[in-house]
Amino acid sequence: MDTRQTLWASALAAIGASLCCVAPLVLVTLGIGGAWVTTLTRFEPARPVFVVLTLGLLALAWRRLYRAPAACEPGKPCAEGAVQRRQRLIFWLVSVPLLLLLAFPWYAALFY
């Protein structure tokens, strides 16, 4: 699994982890409401699994970007420093919102 796939998987896991908390707020903000919105809390028991999965995948992506030796032949695009800097920038641009999504239950009371 390359870094891009790891980031996508961690993003999907973070969305799954925040489904019980963020989704009702987003739906109400969009004007979509009703009693069925409360059924999204059924996902709360699965939240710890998604949180662990998200953090594990983010750690794997971080390890591939910062710790793993670059196995790239000279002349390939991955051997260029600009490509590596761009990948690291994308990692942080994805990681910060994902971590904010994971922490949403702690600051959700500010929105309700």
Q: What is the DSSP letter of 76?
A: S
Reported as type and span, the H/E element at residue 88 is helix 81-102
In the numeric block, the tokens 């949403």 are attached to: 104
How many domains does the chain contain in total?
1
Residue 102: closest CA among 72, 70, 57: 57
User: What integer pLDDT is reported at residue 92 of this predicted model?
Assistant: 92
Which residues of the chain are under the pLDDT cut of 50?
none
Q: What pLDDT score was predicted for residue 101? A: 80
What pLDDT, on a 0 to 100 scale, did the predictor assign at position 51?
Answer: 83
> Given this model, what pLDDT does residue 40 score?
66
- Predicted local confidence at residue 70, as pLDDT: 65
Give, for 18, the enclosing helix (H) or strand (E).
helix 3-18
Taking residue 28's Cβ as centre, other Cβ atoms within 10 Å add up to 14
Q: How many CB atoms lie within 10 A of CB 16?
A: 17
Q: For residue 19, what are the domain limits? A: 3-110
